[in-house]
Structure 1
Amino acid sequence: MIINEKVKNGKLTPQLKTRFKKVEPATIGHYLHYGFMDPTVKSMLKDVKVVGTAFTVRTSVNDSTMVHKAVSLAGEGDVLVIDRTGDVKHACVGEMVAYAANVRKVAGIIIDGPCTDIQAIREIGIPVFATGLSAITTKLYGQSGEINTVIQCGGVTVKPGDLIVADDNGVLVMGQEVDYEEVLAKTEGSEANEPHTKQRLDAGELLADITKAGSLIDTYFSVK
């Protein structure tokens, strides 16, 4: 077993965090081409938004000992990101883990596998992202696991302290090497322009003309 100290994200200021809460991962997707988890990892609740730093956990197939330890170490603003090492049958997060995370003001839980006790999780209200639901739960065997190491979740490498931005549309992971200011500037500009684009569409303009998609197609076919 490996338990490392929590890694802080020194680049994520309170101001940047507030700005990330106002933009959508899907809009960021226009400008970033990596870091997006597989769509099978989806929100178990509706109308959620998570912005925080990754507190990573790796567990074995049916042993959730390290999940219980991790939720006891994580704190406000952390996002518990759990690598299930390929298991898609056993649920390692249920009512008690979700309740404990909520008490400690954890921002959310992301699992590369199923969760359980969905009615209780909905009542608790903590955002949980998972591949689905399962009545087959993990046990406390204390055999293996890691906390705050580099993991894989939803097909993405996640490092402790990475920025997590997630909503109903999906989960995005951004390392500290990413220029957050640049990403936000592009994303905020795009979202600010959306009302104007809708006005142009209402006025009769075509989307292909507004986005220049028509010109791109003309260029492509002229080359052919």
Structure 2
Amino acid sequence: MEIKRLPVELIEEYKRLDTSSITDALDKQGIDGGLLGIKAVVDGTRVCGQAFTVHYVPCGTVKGTVGDFLDDVAAGDVVVIDNSGREYCTVWGDIMSQVAKQKGIAGTVVDGVCRDVKTIREVEYPIFTKGIYMMTGKDRVEVDAVNIPVGVSGVKVCPGDLIVADENGAVCIPVSVVEKTLEIAKSIEEVEGRIVSIVKGGKTLKEARVEMGYHKLQTKVK
């Protein structure tokens, strides 16, 4: 599946937003994009880029490979791995992290666990997972497809969707609504900043929120 490339300038604008504003903007459109349970392995790291998706399944009697898909990932993309939330084996470790860092890959999101965190933290590779566990995925799971729609925490992620992750968690923005979501998210951040300014000017928080329509900022327009 071919990835629709987004303008670099648009991605750069998303790098200045936090995931809270982005999920509020998606809520405004009736879209659930938050990837529940996905957290940073390396504190202070951030991810923003288009998704290169990878799907894993359990191995059968004939063992498959955990995959050499990194050779096909473009610089700036985010590897999104659907390992069905498995906690008994990992699909990402020190070799993958060092190679991805060298290639300029923006980061990795795993619906599952990773290992070799000492090296991951040393090279400061941005990876967001559901946990850490040392057992290898080799002979336990195998890659059965790349760049197909996958699921992470119950959210559909398609190749080319925009992935943003920070200290608050990770979110997927469908490529079809990237521009609209950016516009809404920026307006939400502007309103929230204005609320703080109004309170500093002497009004109560309640007054400021009513004035700026805070309670309906993320409410879907019918």
Q: Does residue 1:35 correspond to 2:33, yes or no?
A: yes
CA contact (8 A) 1:53 1:77 kept: yes
What CA deviation, in whole Å up to 9, does each residue of 1:25-55 have, x standing for no partner? 11122221211111x1111112222111111
Which has the higher mean CA deviation after the structures are superposed, 200-209 or 146-155? 200-209
Residues 193 and 86 from structure 1, CA distance in 2 versus in 1: closer, same or farther, beyond 3 angstroms? closer
- Tell me, which stretches of 5 or more residues in structure 2 are unaligned? 216-222
In 2, Cα distance between the equivalents of 1:135 and 1:103?
A: 23
Task: After TM superposition, give the deviation of residue 143 of structure 1 in Å.
Answer: 5.4
Task: After TM superposition, give the deviation of residue 90 of structure 1 in Å.
Answer: 0.8
Q: Does residue 1:210 correspond to 2:205, yes or no?
A: no
Instruction: Report the residue type matching 1:8 in the other structure.
Output: I
Q: If you compute each CA radius of gyration, which structure gives the higher value, 1 or 2?
A: 1
Q: Does residue 1:145 correspond to 2:144, yes or no?
A: yes
Q: Does residue 1:177 correspond to 2:171, yes or no?
A: no
Task: After TM superposition, give the deviation of residue 77 of structure 1 in Å.
Answer: 1.2
Residues 22 and 9 from structure 1, CA distance in 2 versus in 1: closer, same or farther, beyond 3 angstroms? same
* Aligned twin of 1:21: 15
* Aligned twin of 1:222: none
Task: After TM superposition, give the deviation of residue 74 of structure 1 in Å.
Answer: 0.8
Instruction: Report the residue type matching 1:137 in the other structure.
Output: T
CA contact (8 A) 2:149 2:159 kept: yes
TM-score (norm 2): 0.83
In 2, Cα distance between the equivalents of 1:35 and 1:162?
A: 11
Task: After TM superposition, give the deviation of residue 205 of structure 1 in Å.
Answer: 2.2
Secondary structure of the 2:128 match is strand
Q: Identity rate of aligned residues, in percent?
A: 28
In 2, Cα distance between the equivalents of 1:182 and 1:57?
A: 27
Point out the structure with the larger strand share: 2
In 1, Cα distance between the equivalents of 2:51 and 2:76?
A: 9
Q: Does residue 1:91 correspond to 2:90, yes or no?
A: yes
Task: After TM superposition, give the deviation of residue 192 of structure 1 in Å.
Answer: 3.4
* Aligned twin of 1:74: 73
CA contact (8 A) 1:61 1:84 kept: no
Q: Does residue 1:186 correspond to 2:177, yes or no?
A: no
TM-score (norm 1): 0.82
CA contact (8 A) 1:72 1:100 kept: no
In 1, Cα distance between the equivalents of 2:180 and 2:214?
A: 26
Cα-Cα RMSD: 2.5
